[in-house]
Structure 1
Amino acid sequence: MIYIYNDYGGTHTTSLAAAYHLKQLPQSERKLTSEEILNVKYFNKLTKKEFGKLIFRGIDGDGNSVYTMGHKREKLVVPALKELTLLLEEKFHFNEKIVFSNTSPTVPIAMSIGGYLSRALKIDFIGVPLLIIGTKQCCDNIFRLVENTKQIGKAANGEKVIIIENEKYK
């Protein structure tokens, strides 16, 4: 199985989701420390060049590949990838279940503003503290989203491509 966590930028909530999925962060809903947040691989590091690219994050304990992707405002990227996957399955007997999980519903306003200031405007001295505040606000939601994503992936029998939009987490 292949898990792909996706959102607008692909560098904040997706990085955290991949780290939770791969057990690189504590497996609980507790608030992360600033150090834990800043040590997550790729967190606040990706640039415009990485938009639309699948970034391999690792193999989970069940042997599943974990990727992340930032797709900007392009809402059709994930459905297009689903169609491509189904085509590859039909033409070339590609036989791998793929689970797309949208992490956008977990993003609080502090993270959005911090990400914009840091990534787009390069104002890290304001953006990074806001990102940390936002991450502490939503890390428990990201943890639950990952657990839900893994559960849906394991339970979905017969479906080759699963798209999980997720709901707004509170």
Structure 2
Amino acid sequence: MIYIYNDYGGTHTTSLAAAYHLKQLPQSERKLTTEEILNVKYFNKLTKEDFGKLIFHGVDEEGHSVYSIGRKRNKYVVPAMKAISLLLQEKFKFDEKIIFSNTSPTVPFAMSMGGFFSRGIHIDFIGVPLLVRGAKQCCDNIYRLVENTKEIGRTNFSEKVIILENEMYK
């Protein structure tokens, strides 16, 4: 199975989701510390050159690969990736389930502003504290989103590619 967490920038909630998924963060709904947030691999580290690239985060305890992608505002990225995945699965008899899980619904206003200041206009002294504040606000939702994503992965769906919009985490 392949898990791909996606959102606008691909460097904040997706990095936290991948870290939760890979058990690099505490497995609970408790608020993360500033240090825990800032030590997450790729958190606030990706640039505009990384948009649209699959970022490999690791392999989980069940042997499943975990990726993330920043898709900007393009609503066609994930459906296009689903279509190409289905094509490759059919043509090459590739039988691995792929789950796309949207982390965007978990993003609070503080994180959006922090991302704009830090990644958008490179003013980290304003952006990073806002990002940390936002991450603390939404980490419990991200944890639940990841647990739900993994549970859906464990269920036996006949679908080979699943897209989770996760609107319930708004």
Match of 1:150 in 2: 150
Match of 2:110 in 1: 110
Give 5+ residue unaligned stretches, structure 2: none
**Deviations 1:70-104 (Å, cap 9, x if unpaired)?**
00011100000111011111111111100000000
**Deviations 1:37-67 (Å, cap 9, x if unpaired)?**
0000000000011100000000000000000
Distance 1:168 1:117, change over 3 A: farther
Indicate the larger mover: 155-164 or 3-12: 155-164
Find the residue that maps to 2:157 and give its secondary structure. Answer: coil
CA RMSD between the two structures: 0.8
Runs of 4+ in structure 1 off by over 4 angstroms are: none
Distance 1:160 1:132 in 2: 36
Tell me the TM-score normalised to structure 2 length: 0.98
Indicate the larger mover: 105-114 or 159-168: 159-168
**Deviations 1:113-168 (Å, cap 9, x if unpaired)?**
00100001000000000001101000000000000000011114221000000014
Tell me which amino acid in the other structure corresponds to 1:71. Answer: R
How much identity, in percent, do the aligned residues show? 76
Q: How many residues align?
A: 170
Distance 1:20 1:160, change over 3 A: same
Tell me which amino acid in the other structure corresponds to 1:84. Answer: I
Match of 2:85 in 1: 85
Give 5+ residue unaligned stretches, structure 1: none
Tell me which amino acid in the other structure corresponds to 1:143. Answer: Y
Match of 2:127 in 1: 127
Match of 2:30 in 1: 30
Distance 2:16 2:106 in 1: 11
Tell me the TM-score normalised to structure 1 length: 0.98
Tell me which amino acid in the other structure corresponds to 1:126. Answer: I
